[in-house]
């Protein structure tokens, strides 16, 4: 900084004998300039009134310097962490569920009863379900104790829902991919596409029924659909829903669901539930 407040101006400011416009420019500069702040401190030390006030204020401060606690900086990344991790009481429930179920599917190479003699890993059936269960658990208002207050905030509507859905996908999909690679279960593309379509359909349906119910409906539909498609065609290695040919259909469904969510986004602005039934005590 090349310009600094003159000593004359500093002492005029310290004593209060200064025009407003000058005081303003001094203050603007002091806010930005450490050197002049220190110079003013030296100036104030020569003023009895100011130096007394400053000296006498310190003990009151020093006596109250308790330990500072776990304070955190405010940043966009901190915001993301808080909003994503702050699900219901069981913060990491969905995460653990994903890991445990997929580990089971991978480790045991478990097969579903859908295949009628063919080996269809449980993974293909379960993996697409996980994201919707995760979303339901982390957002479904019936499960979130603080939903009543959340619903009154600007960030509590569709933004939070999408954020949490994305975070659930971001965790479960890689886990699913790894498990798939371990079990040697064909191409992951079909069930990835199915996953995406299911979660988006859940969100679209949630604009009408609420998240919890939407997840239940879509989940049930998925299992039923799988069972029916497997029963219908015994010659196929995988049920039609997980067939590579189904991928374009899933993508179409996804696009349609996105359109529904976009059109009905205002439905996420209100809670569909009465005030929370659980009484605190």
Taking CB under 8 A as the criterion, which residues in 236-275 touch another protein?
266, 269-271, 275
Residue 126, helix vs strand vs coil: helix
Give min distance, CB of 152 to another protein, in A. Answer: 4
Scan residues 163-222 and list those touching Zn ion (CB under 5 A): none
Orientation of helix 211-232 relative to helix 189-209, angle to 10°: 140
Q: How far is CA 242 from CA 189, 192, 226, in A?
A: 9, 9, 8
Please report whether residue 2 would count as binding another protein according to CB under 8 A.
no
Q: Is 245 exposed, middle or buried (0-12, 13-18, 19+ CB in 10 A)?
A: exposed
Give min distance, CB of 6 to another protein, in A. Answer: 6
Give min distance, CB of 202 to another protein, in A. Answer: 22
- Using alpha carbons, select from 178, 204, 173 the residue that is nearest to residue 191: 173
Give min distance, CB of 264 to another protein, in A. Answer: 12
What tokens were used for 231? 């029963």
Please report whether residue 4 would count as binding Zn ion according to CB under 5 A.
yes
Binding region for Zn ion (CB under 5 A) out of 27-35, 146-154, 172-180, 249-257: 27-35
Q: Is 134 exposed, middle or buried (0-12, 13-18, 19+ CB in 10 A)?
A: buried
The one among 9, 33, 217, 273 contacting Zn ion by CB under 5 A: 33
The one among 110, 172, 249, 280 contacting another protein by CB under 8 A: 280
Q: Which residues contact 269 (CB under 8 A, 6 or more apart)?
A: 157, 158
For residues 86 to 125, the per-residue mask of contacts with another protein, x marking binding by CB under 8 A and - elsewhere, is: x-xx-x----------------------------------
By C-beta, is 3 or 117 nearer to another protein?
Answer: 3
Please report whether residue 31 would count as binding another protein according to CB under 8 A.
yes
Helices (H), the chain: 7-15, 20-32, 34-45, 48-62, 76-85, 93-108, 122-126, 129-139, 147-150, 158-183, 189-209, 211-232, 247-263
The one among 36, 102, 126, 261 contacting Zn ion by CB under 5 A: 36
By C-beta, is 28 or 237 nearer to another protein?
Answer: 28
By C-beta, is 50 or 110 nearer to another protein?
Answer: 50
Scan residues 43-82 and list those touching another protein (CB under 8 A): 43-45, 49-50, 53-54, 56-58, 60-62, 64-76, 78-79, 82
List b or e across 135-166, with b for residues whose CB sees 16 or more CB atoms inside 10 angstroms. bbbbbbbbbbeebeebbeeeebbbebbbbbbe
Scan residues 119-178 and list those touching another protein (CB under 8 A): 144-156, 160
Give min distance, CB of 93 to another protein, in A. Answer: 12
What residue has token string 């040919």? Answer: 245
For Zn ion, the binding residues (CB under 5 A) are 4, 33, 35-36
């Amino acid at each position: 900084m090349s310009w600094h407040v003159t000593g004359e101006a500093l002492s005029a400011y310290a004593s209060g004998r200064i025009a407003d416009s000058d005081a303003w420019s001094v203050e603007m500069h002091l806010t930005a300039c450490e050197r002049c702040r220190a110079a003013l401190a030296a100036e104030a030390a020569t003023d009895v009134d100011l130096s007394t006030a400053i000296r006498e204020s310190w003990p009151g401060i020093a006596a109250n310097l308790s330990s500072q606690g776990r304070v955190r900086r405010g940043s966009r990344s901190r915001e993301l962490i808080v909003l994503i991790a702050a699900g219901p009481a069981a913060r990491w429930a969905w995460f653990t569920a994903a890991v445990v179920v997929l580990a089971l599917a991978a480790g045991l190479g478990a097969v579903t009863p859908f295949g009628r003699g063919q080996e269809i890993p449980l993974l293909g059936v379960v993996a697409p379900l996980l994201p919707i269960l995760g979303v339901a658990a982390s957002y479904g208002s019936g499960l979130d104790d603080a939903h009543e207050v959340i619903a009154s905030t600007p960030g509590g509507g569709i933004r939070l829902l999408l954020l949490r859905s994305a975070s659930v996908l971001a965790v479960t999909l890689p886990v699913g991919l790894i498990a798939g690679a371990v079990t040697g279960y064909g191409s992951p593309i079909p069930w990835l596409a199915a996953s995406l379509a299911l979660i988006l359909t859940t969100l679209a349906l949630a604009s009408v029924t609420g998240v919890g119910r939407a997840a239940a409906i879509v989940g049930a539909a998925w299992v039923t659909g799988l069972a029916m498609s497997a029963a219908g065609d015994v010659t196929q290695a995988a049920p039609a829903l997980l067939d590579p040919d189904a991928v374009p259909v899933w993508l179409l469904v996804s696009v349609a669901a996105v359109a529904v969510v976009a059109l009905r986004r205002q439905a996420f602005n209100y809670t569909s539930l009465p005030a929370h039934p659980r009484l605190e005590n």
